[in-house]
Amino acid sequence: MGSSGQKCTATSRIIVTPGIRERFVDAFLTRVGGLTVGDPLTAGVDLGPLASKRQRDGFLGELARAGDAGQHAVLGGGTPVGDGWFVEPTVFLDPDPQSRLAQEEIFGPVTAIMPADDLDAAIGIANGVRYGLAAAVFTRDIGQALRFVRGIEAGLVHVNSETPGTEPQVPFGGMKDSSSHSREQGTAAVEFFTATKTVYLDVPPEPRAPGRPDE
C-alpha cells in the first residue's frame, strides 16, 4: 500500500499457507482498514492520491473487471470523498490464480490474498505469471527460505523484508517480462551503459629486409 501501490516492486499478491491463514487475514484486514487516505503532507495520512485521473480511472476499471468476473473486494474498492485522484486501499480474498486480478500489475493500492497448501505450491503460484521483478518470503525456517530463494523466478528476492526498497549499490532488475535482461545500479550499471565490441586481430609476419638471406 506504500506510495498508493505505485511501485513496480509493490506486493500485489500475498500467498499464505494454512497454518497462519486465519490469523494473517484478520490482522491484515485490521491493519489495512486502519489506513488513512488524504493529503500525504498531512501528519497521520498513510496513502496519498494516484498520479493522475487516468491512473485512477484505470485502477477503478480493473476493480470493475474483477467484479464482473465474480471477484469482489472484502475491503475498500471505492473512491474516498474529496478532491483529487484518491482511492481506498483494497483487498481481495482467494482470486483465481489465472484471473486478470492475479496476473496483471494494477499499480494501485490493491492486494490479493491467495491460499497455498505448502511452500512448493506457493512458489508455483508465484511463478505462474509473466512477470518476475521482486518477491519475498517470510519464515523462521532457513531451509524454507533457501528453497524459496532457489525456486522463485524473480530478480530481487527478500527474506523477511518487504519487496519495495532496494540498495543503490546492488544490481536491480527482474526476470521474464520484468526485465531488459540486464541489470541497473551498482557495478552492473557500468555494464548496462557499456557497448562491448569484440575484435579479432591476426598480425601478419614482419616482411624480410631486401637482400636478407632466407633462414
Q: Which of 2, 6, 8, 39 is catalytic?
A: 8
Distances (CA, A) of 62 to 49, 79, 117, 128, 185: 17, 13, 28, 20, 33
Q: What is the structure's pLDDT at 215?
A: 55
Q: What are the grid coordinates assigned to 114, written together?
A: 491467495
Classify domain 2-192 at the CATH class level: alpha beta
Q: What is the structure's pLDDT at 185?
A: 82
Sign of CA dihedral 20, 22, 27, 32: positive
Q: What average pLDDT score do residues 175-181 get?
A: 81
Q: Is 98 a catalytic residue?
A: no
DSSP H helices, 69-187, are: 100-103, 119-127, 142-151
Nearest to residue 89, comparing CAs of 105, 71, 111? 111
pLDDT score of 208 more than 80: no
Q: What average pLDDT score do residues 26-42 get?
A: 95
Q: For residues 130 and 178, what is the distance between their CA atoms, to the nearest angstrom?
A: 8
Distances (CA, A) of 56 to 46, 53, 116: 17, 5, 31
Q: How confident is the model at residue 213 (pLDDT cuts 50, 70, 90)?
A: low
pLDDT in tens, 48-70: 999 999 999 999 999 999 999 99
Q: Provide the percentage of residues in the chain whose pLDDT is more than 90.
A: 69
